[in-house]
Amino acid sequence: MKHIFINIASFVLLSLIVVGCKREDAYKDFVKDGAIIYPGKPLGLKALAGKNRAKLTWVVIDAKVSKFKIHWNNGLDSLEVPAISTGERADTVNVMVENLPENNYLFEIVSYDKDGNKSIKEEVAAKVYGDEYIGTLLNRAIKRSGSMSGLANVYWGTPEQTDAGVEVKYTDNSGILRNIKVAKTDTLTSLPNYKNGTRFSYRTLFLPDTMSFDTVATAFVTPEAPVIAYPQISASTFKSYVLPTDATTAWGWTLPMLWDNNTAEGSGFHTNDVAMPAHFSIDLGVVTSLHEIRIWQRQLTLYDAGNLRNFEIWGSTEPAADGSFTGWTKLGVFESIKPSGQATGYTTADANYAKAGESFIFADNIPNVRYIRFKVFKNWLGKNPGAIHLMEMKLWSK
């Protein structure tokens, strides 16, 4: 047993000698006259990825260091950087390695002193990105967009993790090209002074990861123009405005019932039988530029009786008190339609169309008005003299 112990001890001792020799070989370049004299190595080495480039940064605390050598591509490519001392205890070195093809890289950095002694090498990895990566990027989705009264709103979808924001370009009402930046956290972007009906373009910015320093972007895309929405005029200011020549009401169906938000039977406007054309007037209570009017027929007599068929709408800010058309401007000529085109009766689609309210759009160049006047030429029954009736009215401004 004693011989076995001696043999084991001898083996261990021999191993230590071999390891020591190998370690000595590894550092033989740094030994001179029996002393290790290699310069200080780069400390805190980091690599930041960029577009076809990488940024390397480290700290040196050895004043004897005169330069650094950087190697990559298994030593096939290299870069030499002089050490510049600021007199501080520690100097930070920043090096940009340019013109790198898109790839994964392992950078090796070694310090040298003026005598050519070198330090132990330090290594750091970086993934450099380029056009191939950019080609995989997708623009941030748009949920919906709409514009109203010189303001467009864009509602954004959920951003990707690497999204760094969005850049939007649009032309305002003055013809000036606007460029705005949208933060990644924004879900709604408003485009002020937006010209309704025009299109905007946008692109999405990306930072590939937390160690990236170059922001890249997708190509600009131009979605469909934001859907135009117009503000509804509040009926709270509407009131009857009866002039001497206006048709009179009948059956207790008065003008204010036109804006009571109710299309039920008995809650509308109804006149006596009058000679066509006949008219009636309404005070909107505010001066505005009209975009749209929507009216609802009497539900029990769709496409029949006194429901409006051919009519005009006139507007004024100062109507003549005698009930004449002095001071009034024609805003539009309209005709109620039956989608099926049937001469008599109506289809389910016709009924649904009428019950949803029939919209009529005004031209863009009409003047602002406060008072409106319906001038009716023909009702759906075609009777003259005949009654006029409708159940509800809503208005939108530009």
Residue 3 maps to a domain: no
On whether both 59 and 208 belong to a single domain, the answer is no
pLDDT at 209: 86
Residue 18 maps to a domain: no
Count other Cβ atoms within 10 Å, centred on residue 185: 9
Residue 26 maps to a domain: no
On whether both 341 and 370 belong to a single domain, the answer is yes
On whether both 288 and 185 belong to a single domain, the answer is no
More confident of the two residues 84 and 21: 84
User: Averaged over 369-385, what is the pLDDT?
Assistant: 97
Count other Cβ atoms within 10 Å, centred on residue 234: 12
pLDDT at 228 over 90: no
Strand 91-97 versus strand 53-60 pairing type: antiparallel
Residue 1 maps to a domain: no
On whether both 373 and 248 belong to a single domain, the answer is yes
On whether both 265 and 351 belong to a single domain, the answer is yes
Residue 25 maps to a domain: no
DSSP state of 14: H
Rounded to an integer, what distance in angstroms lies between the CA atom of residue 97 and that of residue 106? 12
Query: What's the mean per-residue pLDDT of the chain?
Result: 89
What contacts 114, CB < 8 A, 6 or more positions away?
Answer: 64, 66
Rounded to an integer, what distance in angstroms lies between the CA atom of residue 103 and that of residue 141? 29
On whether both 56 and 103 belong to a single domain, the answer is yes
Q: At which of 79, 110, 128 does a domain end?
A: 128
On whether both 248 and 205 belong to a single domain, the answer is no
Strand 177-182 versus strand 163-171 pairing type: antiparallel
User: Averaged over 221-244, what is the pLDDT?
Assistant: 93
Q: What is the CATH number of the domain that holds 319?
A: 2.60.120.260
pLDDT at 86: 75
Omega cis (within 30) before 277 = yes
Global pTM exceeds 0.95 = no
Q: What is the CATH number of the domain that holds 166?
A: 2.60.40.10
Burial class (CB in 10 A: 0-12, 13-18, 19+), 194: buried
Count other Cβ atoms within 10 Å, centred on residue 159: 20
How many domains is the chain partitioned into structurally?
3
CA nearest 297: which of 379, 396, 242, 361? 379
Q: At which of 228, 243, 264 does a domain end?
A: 228
On whether both 49 and 140 belong to a single domain, the answer is no
Residue numbers of the domain that contains 263: 235-397
On whether both 309 and 372 belong to a single domain, the answer is yes
pLDDT at 389 over 60: yes
Residue 15 maps to a domain: no
On whether both 207 and 157 belong to a single domain, the answer is yes
- DSSP percent split of the chain into helix, strand, coil, nearest 5: 15, 45, 45
Q: At which of 228, 251, 273 does a domain end?
A: 228
